[in-house]
Amino acid sequence: MLIQMVSINVKPGHIEEFLEAFRINYEGTRLEPGNLRFDVLRNPDDEHSFVVYEVFKSSDALDEHRKTPHYRECVRRIDPILAGPRTKTFYKVEMADFLGA
C-alpha cells in the first residue's frame, strides 16, 4: 500500500471553490480500482488549511490516478486558488512487516 498525504492552503474567499473541485476528485477517485481510501481533512484551527489523505494499492495505482480526468480537472481548478505550493508526503506500508513474513 502507498499512502499519500497532501497539505494544501487555500486563498481566503475560495474555500467553496476548493471543496467543489475536490468533490469531483473524490467521487472519481473512489471508483478507481487502485484506490482504498480518500479523505479531505480540514484543520479546525485554520479553515484555509487542508490535508488530503489517500491510500492506494500501489505506486502504480497512484500513477494511474494522476492520469485520470477527475484528477486533472481538480488540479486545474485548484492551482489558481492555492496560497502556496502543495506539499506531499508518502508512506509505504508493507503488510509483511506486520505479519512476521
pTM: 0.87
Q: With CA atoms as reference, report the closest residue to 41 among 85, 77, 84, 5.
A: 5
pLDDT tens digits for range 29-54: 999 999 999 999 999 999 999 999 99
- Cell digits of residue 11: 486563498
Categorize the per-residue pLDDT at 93 as very low, low, confident or very high, splitting at 50, 70 and 90.
confident
DSSP designation for 81: G
Whether the predicted pLDDT of 100 surpasses 60: no
Categorize the per-residue pLDDT at 95 as very low, low, confident or very high, splitting at 50, 70 and 90.
low
